[in-house]
Structure 1
Amino acid sequence: MFDKSTWIRLPRNVVVGHGVLPETLKAVEELHLTGRPLVVSSPTPYEVAGSRVVAQFADAGYDPDEIIIEEASFDAVQAVIAHAEEVDTGFLLGVGGGKAIDITKMAADHLGKGFVSVPTAASHDGIVSGRGSVPEGDTRHSVAAEPPLAVVADTEILAQAPWRLTTAGCADIISNYTAVRDWELAHRLKNVPYSEYAGALSQMTAEMLVENADSIKRNLEESSWIVVKALVSSGV
């Protein structure tokens, strides 16, 4: 008797390209999210993009609120949760790199609220995934969290991020080669459930990046375009 099932949660809107940050409001409105938006960011990403996102929603009459986090920690998650409850947040937007987005998705998961990802660096596939990563002492916890309902990735902004963050994104994607092999081995030796679909998608994403390696260069917006598209494919 066949009894397998799966539940795949994908972003409804993925907006990627040059100068798309002003499309954040439209991407959110198409989701029919209601209530007061809370923009979660860290200091530098807020200056680069967060303040502009707040202004978009303010101009549209949404009365947005904001919170700036200094570090990725479980205390920061609790701070965002407490702030969101205090101001009666309707949905959350994480604007920044891994720190802001991971904290936002974990808070959104706890609150049961919608979450929109607005990355300012193409550094890892957490910009679209349903897991958050938080350091604690000498360890790092990977926690199930709310995946984004939408992703707005402005390649003009991503191209201005420190080069080391873009190369980190490349490494994250290339690591799919060994991750898939490890998964296959675990399936063969320990009967760990294996998804051929997810494995093939991860493999394809890594191959796509390697095939375009010559186009990935410092301060080149096309590089951000290639890397962020691969991260989106890898993260889902």
Structure 2
Amino acid sequence: MEMREHIISLPERIFIGNGIISRIDEYFSELGLTGPFLIVTGSNVRRLIVSKILDKIPADVIEVQEANLDEVRKVEEFAKKHESNVILGVGGGKAIDVAKFSAFELNKRFVSIPTAPSHDGITSPFAAIKGLGKPISMKAKEPTAIIADIDVLSSAPRRLINAGIGDTVGKIVAVRDWRLAAKLRGEYYGDYTASLALLSARHALNCTKIINKDLKYGVRLLVEALISSGVAMGMAGSTRPASGSEHLFAHAVEMLYPEGPLHGELVGVGTIMMAYIHGIKWKEIRKALIRIGAPVTAKQLGVPDEIIIKALTIAHTIRPERYTILGDRGLTWASAEKVARNTGVIT
């Protein structure tokens, strides 16, 4: 096998702990990060979190509503005007994605400060930005540092925490799809990277047994799983270890039903169905999601049955260059309906 150049982008430092947001000035000093600083945050992010950061470091603040190209351009113009040197993403997926993509475009340092453990974008050097022509993740800036305050993250709405578990469990299917593509298409496959992604998924499954009894410990376990998943993507140089047919299904629903469920909720349900097609432990995955109160049916998702079936039939077209268990032709309507019914997603 020919060994081509492979570039690995990883965070310089990851800080995890209770109440650590108040030490942000120490961390920045340690890393040699100097201003001007720009905080990119969402309109729903609790002001208390941003104010705690501003108590420690001087920074400009800009709010974003969506993770789209218009918001990216807005942030870039603001950053240029204020000569921002470091861009901080403070919030959920949208704010962090806009911050890291803006940092990539401007070639600035990026710091990830998540306020909800809803997906693995807190670590990965990829961002889901609408308006780039594809409903997929694009190359973005890897974080110089991640500051994961467990007090902040565990106070996020439980639905967002559950979505993070759903997103992380999906790595079980993503790695299977990646291995299949390597076998049938000769695609690059990294054993260590795949193992790291699977470890994240196992931690997420364990999290479903703990989080109802000990929220903070469960959230810490989840955050570490999300971080290792993001690191796996950085090592692979693509989203392959963390995104397979389960994500293609989620993206298909998001296209057909834009105001629908959270991304991680769709990934969780997609994982059940794709695990069924792969012939792996779909019932165990379903039970784990039920245990934490995450949706496992179309009704619980608030999505019509026909949207679920339609999404299954078009999922393979979302990223035609990415081979998965869905193959080149995808599922017929009858096959899709059978998969959804046999896994209890529709009744």
The TM-score, its normalising length taken from structure 2, stands at 0.63
TM-superposed CA distance for 1:69, in Å, is 1.1
Q: 1:61 matched to which residue of 2?
A: none
- The amino acid of 2:220's aligned partner reads W
- The amino acid of 1:131's aligned partner reads F
Q: 1:192 to 1:43 in 2, by over 3 A?
A: same
Q: 1:100 to 1:68 in 2, by over 3 A?
A: same
Which deviates further from its counterpart, 129-138 or 192-201? 129-138
Which deviates further from its counterpart, 181-190 or 3-12? 3-12
CA RMSD of aligned residues (A): 1.9
1-structure distance, mates of 2:128, 2:157: 21
* Structure 1 residue corresponding to 2:128, chosen from 124, 129, 133: 133
**Bigger radius of gyration:** 2
Contact 1:11 1:151 in 2 (8 A): yes
- The amino acid of 1:177's aligned partner reads I
Q: 1:119 matched to which residue of 2?
A: 114
Contact 1:39 1:54 in 2 (8 A): no
Which deviates further from its counterpart, 167-176 or 4-13? 4-13
Q: 1:93 to 1:208 in 2, by over 3 A?
A: same
Matches within 5 A, 1:132-151: 132-136=127-131, 140-151=135-146
TM-superposed CA distance for 1:8, in Å, is 1.4
Matches within 5 A, 1:71-220: 71-136=66-131, 140-217=135-212, 220=215
| Runs of 4 or more consecutive aligned structure 1 residues displaced over 4 Å after TM superposition | 136-139
Q: 1:48 to 1:137 in 2, by over 3 A?
A: farther
Once the two structures are superposed, what CA deviation does each residue of 1:174-213 show, in whole Å capped at 9, x if it has no partner? Answer: 0000000000001111111111111010011111222342
SS where residue 34 of structure 1 aligns? coil
SS where residue 138 of structure 2 aligns? strand
Q: 1:69 to 1:198 in 2, by over 3 A?
A: same
SS where residue 184 of structure 2 aligns? helix
Q: 1:7 matched to which residue of 2?
A: 7
Asked if 1:53 is matched to 2:48, the reply is no
Asked if 1:37 is matched to 2:37, the reply is yes
Contact 1:118 1:153 in 2 (8 A): yes
Structure 1 gaps, min length 5: 59-63
Q: 2:223 matched to which residue of 1?
A: 228
The TM-score, its normalising length taken from structure 1, stands at 0.92
Once the two structures are superposed, what CA deviation does each residue of 1:113-161 show, in whole Å capped at 9, x if it has no partner? Answer: 0000000000000001000012349962311000101000111111111
2-structure distance, mates of 1:146, 1:12: 12
How many residues are aligned here?
231
Q: Which has the higher helix share?
A: 2
- The amino acid of 2:193's aligned partner reads A
Once the two structures are superposed, what CA deviation does each residue of 1:12-61 show, in whole Å capped at 9, x if it has no partner? Answer: 11111111111222222222123300011012225141222122103xxx
Q: Pick 1 or 2: higher relative contact order, CA cutoff 8 A, min separation 6.
A: 1
2-structure distance, mates of 1:118, 1:218: 26
